[in-house]
Structure 1
Amino acid sequence: MERLSAANTQFSLNLFKKISGGNTSKNVFYSPISISSALAMVSLGAKGNTAVQMFKDQIHSSFNKLMSELKKPGVQYVLSLANRLYGENTLMTQKTYYKAELEEVDFKKKSEAARVNINKWVEKNTQEKIKNLLPQGSVHDATKLVLVNAIYFKGNWEKKFPKEATRDGQFKLNKTQTKPVKMMHQESKFPLAFIPEMDSQVLELPYVGKNLSMLIILPNEIQDETTGLQKASEIFCLCLL
């Protein structure tokens, strides 16, 4: 799974650039593993040159192993990664990977009912956090296939931040701008590393059980006109090559 991990990290950084669209003033929140697993499902139906472009060695078996590892018994977090295809019964599917299922629906005559059904499935698999994913008009009588990927995560940090220690602080947006925000505080020991090539610090915040962690990358200085993260991410991409 090492190759999958490296490839997914590279993909997540490239995707970040596309999603942000160069706008560094807004927050971006997304799940690379969720999106890449959905695209990997699409690649199962690709043939010829398209398949050559989308397939990598053992990518599907690697995803299957990863999903099993994330959902192994005894973990102390909730992580739901669900995939489902909605389409005609003539479509071929691979249920072996990604825990995916194909549901046959009548897009031609009952597109609105199909849309409502899909939204209910997403809501159920995200603990009711994501509602009305597909707005009215997004599914119609010409729709042949809908690939839905839903992810939900809930975990507790191994070392919680005391609520009473939260206080106001100034968060740097760029070289000249700051924004007042609520900042959490605690004194404890955490894994901390310094990456000279990125001129950044990396802090690890493990979740209970230490199976998963949150990584925070903090540039030591803002060396460009944005947040400083753009240069750090570019160097990080080069380190992966």
Structure 2
Amino acid sequence: SAIMDVLAEANGTFALNLLKTLGKDNSKNVFFSPMSMSCALAMVYMGAKGNTAAQMAQVLSFNKSGSGVDIHQGFQALLTEVNKTGTQYLLRTANRLFGEKSCDFLSSFRDSCQKFYQAEMEELDFISAVEKSRKHINSWVAEKTEGKIAELLSPGSVDPLTRLVLVNAVYFKGNWNEQFDKENTKERPFKVSKNEEKPVQMMFMQSTFKKTYIGEIFTQILVLPYVGKELNMIIMLPDETTDLRTVEKELTYEKFVEWTRLDMMDEEKVEVSLPRFKLEESYDMESVLCSLGMTDAFELGKADFSGMSKTDLSLSKVVHKSFVEVNEEGTEAAAATAAIMMMRCARFVPRFCADHPFLFFIQHSKTNGILFCGRFSSP
């Protein structure tokens, strides 16, 4: 539907902007769930007015959508689709706003959180029970993510001045449509950089997959479907002589869509070597969002959340934590997994050997939503 396309574009644009911002230090691994982050921030946006709302729309790319489209109805449809029961993957998103109880939140705002985002606005006593509030938030997140994300808020991250905390966590577990045979997993060197190697447990499989080669960035793209093919992992592996930074620089949402079109890919037998890995990343999003232009929301006196509460409010904290484990059976992620390729002489089965840094995305086939983005650059 039109709203889904608009939303996929907005969320996809935001996803790649975040990938570039979080990945500024290009020696670091990156792993996060852009869709989860978009949802959580859209919930806050619902209560924002004036310049605060304008900045948020800009950063979240909602302003692309034209005024005729209801963003919140779009998210309602998207969340219903992605979180639907009866899928062959397990996906749990946990979004909640925790507000200081003296701030008197509007019931209209609370109702909308529930209706559109399957999320609650919960009131806590940050003023006189700050540690109790922090522990309450952490245990709620742990429960929602099957225990994978235990300590979302570290000690001292909330204080008696805290007014509004946005919590956002995702847990994903999926099995590969075709699993790797554990007997083929061997220790192999992973080329972190030109002069540094680290050992990884490298998985191996020969099978038929969709893949393509993008000449303009000297990069192979491989699609590894999860069981049921409702989700795919898309891996972008540059040639050994090409820096991953080149790929990241070139990547826009339009190009991502063009390069990952399944109907334009070849389906062929290929030898896949992909490291087994586990990533757990935490991001305090305030500086990231400010650098993208969402500044007023965090500044008391400038922030306008009058759609949420009559009290003067600003956003105190936005925390995102994600977890992914990629192994022979598939991916377990309180956020994602990866594989890569190298063209050899045509007589051989082509090889995708992810033994140097690559990007990976987990995408929901039906909505084209990017559930997770990652960069694996160092074991």
SS in 2 for 1:190: strand
1:47 Cα offset (Å): 0.6
Matches of 1:205 and 1:240, distance apart in 2: 20
Question: Does residue 171 in structure 1 map to residue 190 in structure 2?
Answer: yes
Question: Does residue 16 in structure 1 map to residue 23 in structure 2?
Answer: no
Matches of 1:36 and 1:178, distance apart in 2: 36
1:174 Cα offset (Å): 3.0
Q: Is the 8 A contact 2:20 2:248 kept in 1?
A: no
Matched residue, 2:122? 103
Matched residue, 2:43? 41
Residue 7 to residue 199, structure 1, CA distance change in 2 (3 Å): farther
Residue 234 to residue 184, structure 1, CA distance change in 2 (3 Å): same
Code of the aligned partner of 1:91? F
1:240 Cα offset (Å): 4.4
Q: Is the 8 A contact 2:16 2:253 kept in 1?
A: no
1:222 Cα offset (Å): 3.1
1:63-98 CA distance string (max 9 Å, x none): 221111112232011100121111136123222222
Code of the aligned partner of 2:28? K
Q: Is the 8 A contact 1:85 1:145 kept in 2?
A: yes
1:208 Cα offset (Å): 0.6
1:170 Cα offset (Å): 2.3
Matching residue within 86, 91, 110 for 2:105:
91
1:114-159 CA distance string (max 9 Å, x none): 1111111000001011112112222222111111112100110010
Alignment of structure 1 residues 1-241 onto 2, 5 Å: 1-21=4-24, 23-55=25-57, 56=62, 57=65, 58-87=70-99, 88=101, 90-92=104-106, 93=109, 94-95=112-113, 96-223=115-242, 228-237=243-252, 239-240=254-255
Between Structure 1 and Structure 2, the one with more strand by share is 2
1:178 Cα offset (Å): 2.9
Matches of 1:191 and 1:29, distance apart in 2: 24
Matches of 1:60 and 1:178, distance apart in 2: 47
1:176 Cα offset (Å): 3.7
SS in 2 for 1:75: coil
1:26 Cα offset (Å): 2.1
1:180 Cα offset (Å): 2.2
Q: Is the 8 A contact 1:202 1:217 kept in 2?
A: yes
**Structure 1: runs of 5 or more not aligned:** none
Matches of 2:218 and 2:116, distance apart in 1: 39
> How does the TM-score come out when normalised to structure 1?
0.90
1:62 Cα offset (Å): 1.9
Residue 175 to residue 8, structure 1, CA distance change in 2 (3 Å): farther
Code of the aligned partner of 1:74? G
Residue 41 to residue 149, structure 1, CA distance change in 2 (3 Å): same
Matches of 2:94 and 2:199, distance apart in 1: 37
Residue 136 to residue 238, structure 1, CA distance change in 2 (3 Å): closer
Q: Percent identity?
A: 47
1:16 Cα offset (Å): 2.0
Higher relative contact order (CA 8 A, sep 6+): 2
Moved more, 193-202 or 128-137: 193-202
SS in 2 for 1:108: coil
SS in 1 for 2:227: coil
SS in 2 for 1:135: coil
